[in-house]
Amino acid sequence: MDFFQEIRTKPWLESQVEIDNERSGGSYTLPSVKVGLRVFVAVVGVVFSLSVVAYSDRMTLADWRPVPEPLLMWLNIIVLVGASVAMQWAVRSAQRDRTSNVEVGMLIGGACTLAFLAGQLLVVRQLDELGYFAPTNPALAFLYMLTGLHAVHILGGMVAWGRTLLRIWGGADAQQVRMSVELCAFYWHFLLAIWLFLFVWFVIT
For residue range 59-83, list pLDDT tens digits in order: 888 777 877 788 899 999 999 999 9
In the predicted model, what is the mean pLDDT of residues 31-35? Answer: 87
Residue 120: HSE in the Cβ half-sphere, 13 Å Cα cutoff:
22
Helical H segments across 22-137, by residue range: 32-58, 71-95, 99-129
Domain count of the fold of the chain: 2
Q: How confident is the model at residue 14 (pLDDT cuts 50, 70, 90)?
A: low
Of 202, 185, 175, 164, the C-alpha closest to 41 is: 185
Q: 18 vs 42, which has greater pLDDT? A: 42
Q: In this structure, are 5 and 65 located in the same domain?
A: no
CB neighbour burial string for 142-168, b if at least 16 within 10 angstroms, e if fewer: bbbebbebbbebbeebeeebeebbeeb
In the predicted model, what is the mean pLDDT of residues 106-114? Answer: 98
In the predicted model, what is the mean pLDDT of residues 148-168? Answer: 96
- State the Cα–Cα distance between residues 10 and 14, nearest whole angstrom: 9
CATH code assigned at 137 = 1.20.120.80
Q: In this structure, are 115 and 133 located in the same domain?
A: yes
Residue 17 has pLDDT above 80, yes or no: no
Of 91, 127, 129, the C-alpha closest to 108 is: 91
Q: What does the pLDDT read at residue 93?
A: 96
Classify residue 63 by its DSSP letter: T
Q: In this structure, are 64 and 133 located in the same domain?
A: yes
Residue 32 has pLDDT above 90, yes or no: no
Residues 6+ apart with CB under 8 A from 52: 146, 198, 201
Q: What does the pLDDT read at residue 1?
A: 45
In the predicted model, what is the mean pLDDT of residues 163-190? Answer: 95
Domain that holds residue 23: 1-30
Residue 5 has pLDDT above 80, yes or no: no
Q: 137 vs 145, which has greater pLDDT? A: 145
Residue 114 has pLDDT above 90, yes or no: yes
Residue 98, CA distances (Å) to 147, 176, 188 in order = 35, 12, 21
CA 181 from chain centre, in angstroms, equals: 13
pTM of the entire predicted model: 0.82
Q: In this structure, are 105 and 131 located in the same domain?
A: yes
Q: In this structure, are 22 and 52 located in the same domain?
A: no
Of 127, 155, 122, the C-alpha closest to 141 is: 127
Q: In this structure, are 166 and 105 located in the same domain?
A: yes
